[in-house]
Chain A
Amino acid sequence: MQRNAVRWGLLALFVDGPKYGYQLRTELDTRTGGSWAVNVGQIYTTLDRLVRDGLVATEGADAEGRELYMLTEPGRVALAEWYLTPVTETERPRNELAIKLAMAARDPSVDITIVVQHQRTESMRQLRDYTDLRRQANEDVDLTWSLFLDHLIFALEGELRWLDHVEATVLRRRYTRPAPASTYAPTPPEAAEIAESGRARR
């Protein structure tokens, strides 16, 4: 998890009024379905830094005596700047799935249709499970959570389209040009099994 994302995510929680420390954790949790997995310690450290930087300030206490924090004017400006700055650094290039399939595609001993199908089934299972959650989510109650789930759903949809594309591309190339000689011997049993079942299907 990018540290900056937690900082900005916390700051953004203050737009609808003053909050106490632990409340930030609960809200971050429900709005991201726990997927951000930020621990309490990290919440308080980040909150301290936001106060130090003048983006958040203390604002008395609530009826139970918990110290409340609120967004300052510089905090509001910083938040607006964050919203207007596009995100450029993501984990996209290091995605294991992308590397695995792109590597498997050039290995002539691998039956790409099986590799793709295993992934397709798994991605489809995730898509089904997120769709379940999305159907239960209520935009009016928690818009952030609803849109966050939509993000996961659209990403999986894109992933599945890419899987179709990988399969089609590899098959087209294998039928139209001779396979290059393998430059190494694949050894893991899994790989052998995939190659074996691939041969059996042809």
Chain B
Amino acid sequence: MSDVVLRLAEVERVYRAGEGSVWALAGVSLTVRAGELVAVMGPSGSGKSTLLSIAGGLEVPTSGSVEVAGVRLGGLDSTAVAHLRRDRIGYVFQDFNLVTDLTAAENVALPLELGGSSARAARASAITALDEVGLPEVADRFPDQLSGGQQQRVAIARALVGERRLVLADEPTGALDSQTSLAVLQVLRARIDGGAAGVLVTHEARYAGWADRTVFLRDGRLVDTTPERDDARRLLAEPS
């Protein structure tokens, strides 16, 4: 189908670890469409971050294929993957990954500037994005002058700025209190409803509830997925 933004097919990722090997992903297939947010849940070490970094072209699968916005990553050279990543994919890292000697606004503007926007236009978009995540006042501060939760929101603003087709977020609410988490989910959800596709890794069921579907990872395999929507109001009306 044409509206598929992310397609993982039988993806395996094996890490060499000393003598043995670790099957971080052992054959995962997943399709995410435009307008769809998929949550990934699973115990620590089950392969969630590995899945995300392969979807984002940061890591190469040992076998299997990855397609983003109709382009097979396996067929691209590293420069082309880097461009696709910069222009089309927003990525929120589990550990934020901000550039320490750039201000918050510069961090957010970076992908746009690298993509050829004028410095002024990039800064304007960055300020808007920071505003959306509730941080209009920190634009000119450096990451080490921000709290963990503020750094996380800057990272989210950076992932959402520009015209991203695919948003990949690894525990984006990990450092946030529940009110801020909900605000961030609202921003993310609005972007998805506006036509992007998203994958949200989270330990918190309450936040996975914002996704259209939740898939469960265990030992590098998808073991289950929630079914399509039902009419929740009808379910509620059934006497329990």
Contact of A35 among B41, B218, B236 (CB under 8 A): B236
Contact of B214 among A35, A124, A130, A156 (CB under 8 A): A124
B155 contacts chain A at the CB level, 8 A cutoff: no
Chain B interface residue bracket vs A: 20 to 34
Contact yes or no, B233 A125, CB < 8 A = no
Q: Digit string of A113-136 for contact with B (CB within 8 Å is 1, else 0)?
A: 100011011011111111111010
Contact yes or no, B229 A120, CB < 8 A = no
Distance, CA A33 to CA B238, complexed state (A): 10
User: Contacts A128-B214, A153-B209, A161-B205: A133 and B233 contacting too (C-beta < 8 A)?
Assistant: yes
How distant is B186 from chain A, measured CB to nearest CB, in Å? Answer: 8
Distance, CA A161 to CA B232, complexed state (A): 22
Q: How many residues of A contact B (CB 8 A)?
A: 28
Distance, CA A124 to CA B211, complexed state (A): 10
Contact yes or no, B226 A124, CB < 8 A = yes
User: Contacts A117-B224, A130-B232, A132-B229: A124 and B237 contacting too (C-beta < 8 A)?
Assistant: no
Contact yes or no, A128 B237, CB < 8 A = no
B142 contacts chain A at the CB level, 8 A cutoff: no
How distant is A202 from chain B, measured CB to nearest CB, in Å? Answer: 12
Distance, CA A131 to CA B206, complexed state (A): 8
A47 contacts chain B at the CB level, 8 A cutoff: no
Contact yes or no, B229 A126, CB < 8 A = no
Distance, CA A93 to CA B134, complexed state (A): 42
Q: Tell me the B153-199 residues at the A interface (CB within 8 Å).
A: 189
Q: Which residues of the other chain, A, contact B224 by a CB distance below 8 angstroms?
A: 117-118, 120-121
Distance, CA A157 to CA B212, complexed state (A): 17
Distance, CA A124 to CA B214, complexed state (A): 7
Distance, CA A113 to CA B212, complexed state (A): 24
Distance, CA A123 to CA B206, complexed state (A): 11
Distance, CA A34 to CA B189, complexed state (A): 27
Distance, CA A118 to CA B227, complexed state (A): 12
A11 contacts chain B at the CB level, 8 A cutoff: no
B223 contacts chain A at the CB level, 8 A cutoff: yes
* Contact surface of A with B, Cβ cutoff 8 Å: 1, 33-35, 37, 113, 117-118, 120-121, 123-133, 135, 153-154, 156-157, 160-161
